[in-house]
Structure 1
Amino acid sequence: MNTSFNYFIPTNIIFGAGRIKELATVALPGTKALIVISSGTSMTRFGYLDTVVKALKAQKVETVIFSKILANPIVDHVMEGAQMARENGCDFIVGLGGGSSIDSAKSIAVMVHNPGTYWDYIGGGTGKGKPVTEKVLPLIAIPTTAGTGTEADPWTVITNLETKEKIGFGVAGTFPVIAIVDPEMMLSVPAHLTAYQGMDAFFHAAEGYLANVHQPASDLFALDSVKLITKHLPTAVKDGSNMEARTALAWASTQSGMVESTSSCISQHSMEHALSAFDPSVTHGAGLIMLSVSYFSFMAKKVPERFPALAEAMGVDVSKLPESERPMAFISALKQLIKDINCDGLDLNDYKLDKSQAGALADNAMTAMGFLFTLDPYQMNKDEVVGIFESAFDA
């Protein structure tokens, strides 16, 4: 157990079915909001945007809508959203939708008052690593998916299309001040996205449990998230209207965000960011799934100590197994879960990616998001990273 750690999660989390209505009564951090949503139609089609606008109007809050966010959000839209907020005098931001919208809202909140371009503040890759010196606008996060947990952490992931870099960033000010997590707003997510998003939360938890900065609280959060997702994700994929499953997954996602706040993701996320930086059509959760068996099989062989507990959280009675087989029990359970959510047919070779790119992907992962490699329980070299990519292409 790590016995020296920080614990800081300042977000007021309002959790539960139907609790979006409390946006009309909770104390708000301003009087004019920029609402950040995706370029898709789901926020309007299912009435979520209208619900939020009406709730804010009940508190005499004016709203401006920024609706350009992509599934893999980009720097250009961060800068455009920040300009819109400045021009309209917005004093807080609302991120409504999936992780891409909320992440973009965080990054926009940084850039409303800070000078230069967003990439000036990014610490990895070609970023300049400048400190954030001016005010970050307060943020309200309203997730409509169960996956990223970004409502309970400070992290935001944005892609620089010019440099093909997808890099995480965060400061204390990018923690949402309020998160309203209402599983009723997640009922409309289609089955395949439910699967991808649920597995993103699963890997946040698993990686956070393995990270060399794990701590007592993150361990508890991580193992419970793994347990909840293993139990409820197959149900939600088969029956998206199942409120018990949706509620469990909503909490597991938020709780996995708390894992990211108290521990960290590790290099699996760096490697997936390389995949979706090279081909933005790779959905983040799908990319993680396609890497996962190769990645965790490698780690389980190198540092087996913490894998049995992950297997137990997935429902495996490891006490009945020889000690030498207990770490790989997690891999068997992971394969079964991927099959149970109908994702065993995913194949990296179906994207604009090729095994011959493994070296370039490894370079990108170890440069753009190299910091996460320092948090791995085993310190990989480039050849080992290349090997994991190649194995994932061969799977």
Structure 2
Amino acid sequence: MNYHMYLPTRTLFGAGELNNLNIQEMPGRKAMIVISNGNSARANGALGRTEEQLHLAGVETAVFDRVQANPFKDTVMEGAAFARENGCDFVVALGGGSVMDAAKIMAMMAPNPGDLWDYVAGATGKNKPLENRPLPVVCITTTAGTGSEVDAWGVVTNPDTHEKIGCGGMDSLFPVLAIVDPELMTTVPPEFTAYQGFDALFHSTECYISKAANPMSDIVALAAIEAVAKNLPSAVRNGEDLEARGQVAFGNTLSGYVMSLSCCTSEHSMEQAMSAFHQELPHGAGLIMLSRAYYGYFIEKHICGDRFIRMARAMGMETARRPEDFLAALAKLQEDCGVAELKMSDYGITREELGTLAENARATMGGLFAVDPCELSHEDCTAIYQKAYR
């Protein structure tokens, strides 16, 4: 019955909530607004609206617009330097998971000396303690995929070493404010709506079967699974469906809470190895490719079968009686969202590198293997990759 709970982020959730940013207490006087290196935040008006809201609150702004998907270490270091050079005393992330992850780690590095990998745990990271407290962070999420708006982590890639690692994790890196406004999500293309939605789903399914699961995380995880699974197909089919968008966004934010109450398992380690070597692979797409083989492994081992049954019921299969029903529900959801046929080979992944990916997953994100519901060996990981490979 033990659990630890610390979820300090003030969250404004609902359509139109961006309009209430200006009446919130601001954590500083000048904000670095972090956006992606694409044009969407400018084209859809989200950047202009955010700047207007901050200016109404008496905050000066400077825009850093260089974050790529699966953000690089060098980009994070550039953002940290930009914040220092422009005298910014807090950071506003405006975008999806990559932007929010990068922004949090920029906020961590802006007041601290050295290189990010001095502070990273895992693989070649030196795991030094921070010397100074991170800058405050405000997250305005424009996608529903990572739950990063309410957790204390950011995932960053070091392309020189092919290491994609979760960074941060300290209490001081929780965003002070999050705005989750489904109106900002209506322009996300269908395929990325699906990829992001499955990322949110798997955060919760992993945390539900994790050894770190507890009564509090279980409640939140099942609610998140239900919200995403029952509404994602509608959001994919019609991006303007605010009800569906809102439900998926709700499930996504819950998934951020779940990750702070429990812990993801090695599915995320295994996917991060894939996209560390293949930068163009969307994280959610990689998780989809792995998922049926990954969860099937535990079901074949007769591990936590009752939890798979409960997850299948949460996904809408009310008559679920066998753990295998979860795999059937998962396959149907992927078909309904048009992502059931994704292939690793389409992103340049070869069978010959699967053993290397298994080694990388354990070296960079080995901590997640420790909370798997049963032990996964190197050979087991390689076998899962092999079964998932197409």
TM-score, normalised with respect to structure 1: 0.97
Matched to 2:377, the amino acid is N
Partner of 1:349: 345
Counterpart of 2:197 in 1: which secondary structure? Answer: helix
Where 2:389 maps in the other structure, the secondary structure is: helix
Is 1:230 the counterpart of 2:226? The answer is no
Superposed CA offset, 1:53-105 (max 9, x none) = 01011112110110000011010011111111011110000011000001011
CA deviation map 1:291-321 (0-9, x unaligned): 00000000122212421111111122346x4
In the other structure, the counterpart of 2:112 is 114
Count of residue pairs brought into register by the alignment: 387
Preserved contact between residue 82 and residue 112 of structure 1 (Cα < 8 Å): yes
Q: What is residue 312 of structure 2 aligned with on the other side?
A: 311
Verify the 8 A CA contact 2:3 2:216 in the aligned structure 1.
no
- Taking the aligned partners of 1:381 and 1:335, their CA distance within structure 2 comes to 26
1:91 equivalent among 74, 78, 89: 89
Q: 2:298 & 2:352 partners in 1: Cα distance? A: 23
Which of 72, 83, 93 is equivalent to 2:70? 72
Q: Work out whether 1:189 is the aligned partner of 2:188.
A: yes
> Which aligned pairs between 1:11-50 and structure 2 lie closer than 5 A?
11-50=9-48
CA–CA separation in structure 1 for the residues paired with 2:13 and 2:346: 38
Query: Following TM superposition, by how much is the alpha carbon of 1:271 offset from its aligned partner in structure 2, in angstroms?
Result: 0.2
Work out whether residues 308 and 318 of structure 1, in 8 Å CA contact, stay in contact via their aligned partners in 2. no
**In structure 2, how many angstroms separate the alpha carbons of the residues matched to 1:318 and 1:306?**
14
Map residues 1-395 of structure 1 onto 2, 5 A cutoff.
3-169=1-167, 170-302=169-301, 303=303, 304-318=305-319, 321=321, 326-394=322-390
Identity %: 46
Distance in 2 (alpha carbons) for counterparts of 1:210 and 1:271: 16
How far apart in 2 are the matches of 1:352 and 1:122?
28
Q: Given that residues 153 and 166 in structure 2 are in contact (C-alpha distance below 8 angstroms), is that contact kept between their aligned partners in structure 1?
A: yes
Question: C-alpha separation between the residues in 1 aligned to 2:52 and 2:231?
Answer: 32
Instruction: For residue 138 of structure 2, give the secondary structure of its aligned residue in structure 1.
Output: strand
Partner AA of 2:39 in structure 1: T
Q: Which amino acid aligns with 1:379?
A: E
Q: Deviations over 1:308-344 (max 9, x none)?
A: 111111122346x4xxxx1110001100100000001
- Structure 1 vs Structure 2 CA RMSD: 0.9
SS in structure 1 of the partner of residue 204 of structure 2: helix
Q: Secondary structure, in 3 states, of the residue corresponding to 1:369?
A: helix
Spell out structure 1 runs of 4+ moving beyond 6 A.
Answer: none
CA offset digits 1:262-298 (Å, max 9, x no partner): 0111100000000000100110000000000000000
Classify the secondary structure of the residue corresponding to 1:342. Answer: coil
Between the aligned partners of 1:139 and 1:315, the Cα distance in structure 2 is: 36
Shift of 1:133: 2.6
Counterpart AA for 2:211 = N
**Per the alignment, in what secondary structure is the counterpart of residue 375 of structure 1?**
coil
The separation in 1 between residues aligned to 2:207 and 2:282, in whole angstroms, is: 21
- Cα distance in 1 for partners of 2:239, 2:216 equals 30
Q: Which AA in structure 2 matches 1:215?
A: N
Counterpart Cα distance in 2 of 1:230 and 1:138: 33
Q: 2:140·2:149 contact (CA, 8 Å) conserved in 1?
A: yes
Tell me how far apart the structure 1 counterparts of residues 316 and 98 of structure 2 sit (CA, whole Å).
32
Q: Distance in 1 between matches of 2:266 and 2:340?
A: 22
Q: 2:131 and 2:252 mapped to 1: Cα distance?
A: 31
Deviation at 1:118, TM superposition (A): 0.6
Q: Structure 2: 5+ residue runs without aligned partners?
A: none
